[in-house]
Amino acid sequence: MNFVVPVPANIADLEFSWQSLAGHPLPYSMELDYDVVRVPGTASGMMALLSPRVNVSAKGEVPVVLQVFRIRLPCSGLVSAEIPLALRLNVTAPPGTKYNDTILVFKRNKICLKGVETPPRNESVRLEPGPLVNGAGALYVAATCACALILVVGSVASALYIRNSKARVQESHYSAADTDGLARSSVLVRVDPRPGSANSGSYATIADLEPLYARPYGFRASYYAASHVTSLSQSTDPCEKARALSVPRSALYCRNLVQEGTFGRVYRGTLDVTGREQEVIIKTVTEVASAYQASLLVVEGSQLAGLVHANIASLAAACLDSSCPLLAYTSTQGELNLKLYLTDGNHHPVTRDLVNVGAQVARAGAFLHGRGLLHRDIAARNCLIEASTLRVRLADAALARDLFPQDYHCLGDNENRPIRWMALESLQHNQYSTATDVWSFGVFLWELATLGQQPYVEVDPFEMMACLRDGYRLAQPRPCPDELFAVMAVCWLGLSRDRPTMPQLLAYLQDFHDALGGFI
């Protein structure tokens, strides 16, 4: 409710599902306030927004069964304008209880464009305009949840998860939230896992991922520019790539320790080649590490070697002269691990910043997929961020199992895997594709929205496969806009072919980032 979300010109309806959980209907009253924006220079004083209509009465009772009501916001098409609105829903608490009457307010701005006229509709009740709630021009759509006795969910029609799942959600698990409003453990929702359904265990389909915001020039041509691939090109042997970047031990200087695990360490230091020093991050293992752990560092650390991209942290140099290999990555003084950045409490990125971070990682993922490469472990722990500029780079997963052991689990096969970030088909059949990277990217976006919380924290790692197979997914974090959660939701579709590709996600997030800059 703290976000001002624009309603684009091509969206005319706001839909809400509501239900009284008190066991009996609860009285409500509804008020719709909106600003009258008239077309200048017209004698008739025609408005940019015609009279909004609601297909329920201004007073009544919240039903005991899940139902939907709609607010229609018809534009005249005569002028371009942004119209603040406010729908207040006041719910009366049950008599004789400890609960108070409740009012919730959601913020929206209706965008009308000249030449884009909304077709008429007849199943609605006209509400007359009233004063704005706060006088500052913010759009409010209010819904109420009286002391956990009422469930009300609202969205713009293009917000995929809310719209498509409002009639499908069967049960939920809720957890407490801390004082800053961020849930400290995830909330799971269950979507319809009907056997034989084309979207079994899915929120929506890729066809629903149409542009969130009206664009005079139409949607991006690159939106449908790629498809998922499962057969990927074979890259050079990782050890060979590391040896090609080999430097003597004297060229690397480990200045200060920034992160340490059981057998792995990360230093900040310098790389001196041909007399020119450059800032680097150095990954290595300790003397207690086994030969397997040392070789795993080299293999995983060479995963992105040889790639040149602004949003990828690729291997710059390697020293393989001893039992404790050193891997160096170019860096800056202010660059941090993204997960540590999100969880340290000293940084407070706003929604537009988080969308920007997501778009940069999507750009890196699209670059990898375009070259026939998979990452297999897209997560905040495997990203670096420059705190001052918010430039983000996707890195390899070398030492991640040791440095972030809470994110990896062994299911009895002697292999630590990022279970909570893995797609259903990866858990079931050990299958990996660009679509499984997209699934992990959706969990990564959820990490951003929750500032680094642990996904599926309530679920035992051994139950993750059954949890996903039964249709459970991460629910919308409390401070996350519908539009951002819509991106996450389509990344977790049950069928891999229905998930968006990285180029599609990149186009979507770029548009959303631009829109946030224009309207919020």
Catalytic residues: 377
Query: In angstroms, rounded to a whole number, what is the distance separating the alpha carbons of residues 433 and 426?
Result: 9
| Residues shown for the chain | 520
Query: In angstroms, rounded to a whole number, what is the distance separating the alpha carbons of residues 1 and 154?
Result: 11
Closest CA to 319 of 282, 293, 281: 282
Residue 280: both structure tokens together: 């680097």
Residue 231: both structure tokens together: 């057969």
Residue 87 CA, chain-centre distance (Å), reads: 27
Query: In angstroms, rounded to a whole number, what is the distance separating the alpha carbons of residues 423 and 518?
Result: 35
Closest CA to 384 of 395, 374, 375: 395
Are residues 284 and 335 in contact, defined by beta-carbon separation less than 8 angstroms?
Answer: no
Query: In angstroms, rounded to a whole number, what is the distance separating the alpha carbons of residues 157 and 140?
Result: 16
Report which residue type is found at 284. T
H or E element, residue 14? strand 13-20
CB atoms within 10 A of CB 259: 18
Residue 435: both structure tokens together: 């679509």
Identify the sign of the CA torsion 351, 356, 359, 361. negative
